[in-house]
Amino acid sequence: LIKRVYESSPYYHKVFKERGLTPDDIRTLEDLVKLPFTTKEDLRRYAYPHGGDFLAVPFGNLVGWHMTSGTTGVPTVNAYTWSDIEIWTSLVARSLVTAGVTKNDIVMNIYGYGLFTGGIGLHQGIQRIGA
């Protein structure tokens, strides 16, 4: 994953170079402290409005977007591929099953679908289970 991001995302390639890092420098769990944190401010500055240099896939591979309203600053962008959506759906479904949800349950999803990106993820996870 680290090698893929380094090679595919202009933003992370630049950040790694600024810190004198290459993917080969990250070999153990202890090495993870060398990795840069990504802040909301980073996303606002470098990913708005169309993913900018953060994207690690070609723009044409994106199938979904979610953007905050920007009421507290520049909107925060999230871009999704089909693979991202599939992984998200599977992880939410697994979490729900772990919590005891089955296809025989009725689940009420009261998250907003507007400016909170979690609503659709929960919805898709519930559908995956068949609840």
Q: Is residue 22 part of a domain?
A: no
Q: Is residue 81 part of a domain?
A: yes
Q: Is residue 75 part of a domain?
A: yes
Q: Is residue 95 part of a domain?
A: yes
Q: What is the number of structural domains in the chain?
A: 1
Q: Domain range holding 69?
A: 58-129
Q: Is residue 82 part of a domain?
A: yes
Q: Tell me the two tokens of residue 119.
A: 């609503």
pLDDT digits 0-9 by tens, 55-91: 899 999 999 888 877 788 888 888 899 999 999 999 9
Average pLDDT of every residue of the chain? 89
CA angle 96, 97, 102 (to 5 degrees): 105
String of b and e for 65-93 (b: at least 16 CB within 10 Å)? ebbbeeeeebbbbebbbeebeeebbeebb
Q: Is residue 80 part of a domain?
A: yes
Q: Is residue 83 part of a domain?
A: yes
Query: Is it the case that residue 95 has pLDDT exceeding 80?
Result: yes
Look up the pTM and report it.
Answer: 0.76
Are 80 and 62 a contacting pair, CB within 8 Å? yes
